Chain A
Amino acid sequence: QKEVEQNSGPLSVPEGAIASLNCTYSDRGSQSFFWYRQYSGKSPELIMFIYSNGDKEDGRFTAQLNKASQYVSLLIRDSQPSDSATYLCAVTRETGRRALTFGSGTRLQVQP
């Protein structure tokens, strides 16, 4: 079982719709959760992080965390063609191994 699992996609949504990206993790000791966006040929860039159960909103992005279910998601409202990219979920422990462990990413395509 991979430590961080994501559906590889592609996830295709029409422009203006809500894109929902999901991630599950296996290590119950995980404390911090991150979403990175990676455009083709570019490096990953951080777009959201969440530490506590519940929702965290930043502009069109909402991160949702459920530690009991070991599940974290990213919602993108009013999706734009410029949101088309691969979205990487990453987790880390606050103690012990603190480097980020990444999922394989979900490719999102927003159709104009």
Chain B
Amino acid sequence: DAGVIQSPRHEVTEMGQEVTLRCKPISGHNSLFWYRQTMMRGLELLIYFNNNVPIDDSGMPEDRFSAKMPNASFSTLKIQPSEPRDSAVYFCASGTSSSRADFGPGTRLTVT
């Protein structure tokens, strides 16, 4: 099992640009989570999907953020336009009905 796959691993972009982060969950997992981690705020849930349906997006900071899960094996998190305060490590995690989550390696985003 390859685990959760995220791409890119590092992203450096300029303020105002669109950023798209990608995630492939573990096969057979029916829940997918997007988390953001910063020193100041720790690990925060942005959105989670169950069976490809968004269940809770209350953590999405604002309209600049959007997430999709078109099928069971792929999800994207998009930021448009990006701002310096979006700089963080973004983790995708997947899980089953037991609620445990297995994390991907993360995408380190730097917005200058």
Q: Tell me the A residues contacting B by CB distance below 8 Å.
A: 32, 34, 42-46, 49, 88, 92, 94, 97-105
B100 at the interface (CB under 8 A from A): yes
The distance in angstroms between the C-alpha atoms of A68 and B103, with both chains bound, is: 30
The distance in angstroms between the C-alpha atoms of A32 and B95, with both chains bound, is: 14
Interchain pairs with CB closer than 8 A, number? 48
Question: Which residues of chain B come closer than 8 Å to A94, judged between CB atoms?
Answer: 99
Question: Which residues of chain B come closer than 8 Å to A103, judged between CB atoms?
Answer: 42
Taking a contact as CB atoms under 8 Å apart, the answer to whether A99 and B33 are in contact is: yes
Q: Tell me the B residues contacting A by CB distance below 8 Å.
A: 31, 33, 35, 42-45, 48, 50, 55-56, 91, 98-106
Nearest residue in B to A97 (C-beta to C-beta)?
B56
Question: Which residues of chain B come closer than 8 Å to A104, judged between CB atoms?
Answer: 42
Nearest residue in A to B47 (C-beta to C-beta)?
A99
Taking a contact as CB atoms under 8 Å apart, the answer to whether A99 and B91 are in contact is: no
Interface of B, secondary structure class, is strand
Taking a contact as CB atoms under 8 Å apart, the answer to whether B48 and A99 are in contact is: yes
Taking a contact as CB atoms under 8 Å apart, the answer to whether B104 and A43 are in contact is: yes
Taking a contact as CB atoms under 8 Å apart, the answer to whether A46 and B42 are in contact is: no
Q: Which 10 A-B pairs have the closest CB atoms?
A: A43-B103, A104-B42, A102-B43, A99-B48, A92-B99, A44-B103, A99-B45, A32-B99, A98-B99, A43-B106
Taking a contact as CB atoms under 8 Å apart, the answer to whether B100 and A43 are in contact is: no
The distance in angstroms between the C-alpha atoms of A82 and B99, with both chains bound, is: 27
The distance in angstroms between the C-alpha atoms of A88 and B91, with both chains bound, is: 15
Question: Which residues of chain A come closer than 8 Å to B105, judged between CB atoms?
Answer: 42-43
Taking a contact as CB atoms under 8 Å apart, the answer to whether A100 and B99 are in contact is: yes
Question: Which residues of chain B come closer than 8 Å to A99, judged between CB atoms?
Answer: 31, 33, 45, 48, 55-56, 99, 101
The distance in angstroms between the C-alpha atoms of A92 and B101, with both chains bound, is: 11
Nearest residue in A to B33 (C-beta to C-beta)?
A99
The distance in angstroms between the C-alpha atoms of A45 and B91, with both chains bound, is: 12
Question: Which residues of chain A come closer than 8 Å to B50, judged between CB atoms?
Answer: 98
| A82 vs chain B, min Cβ distance (A) | 19
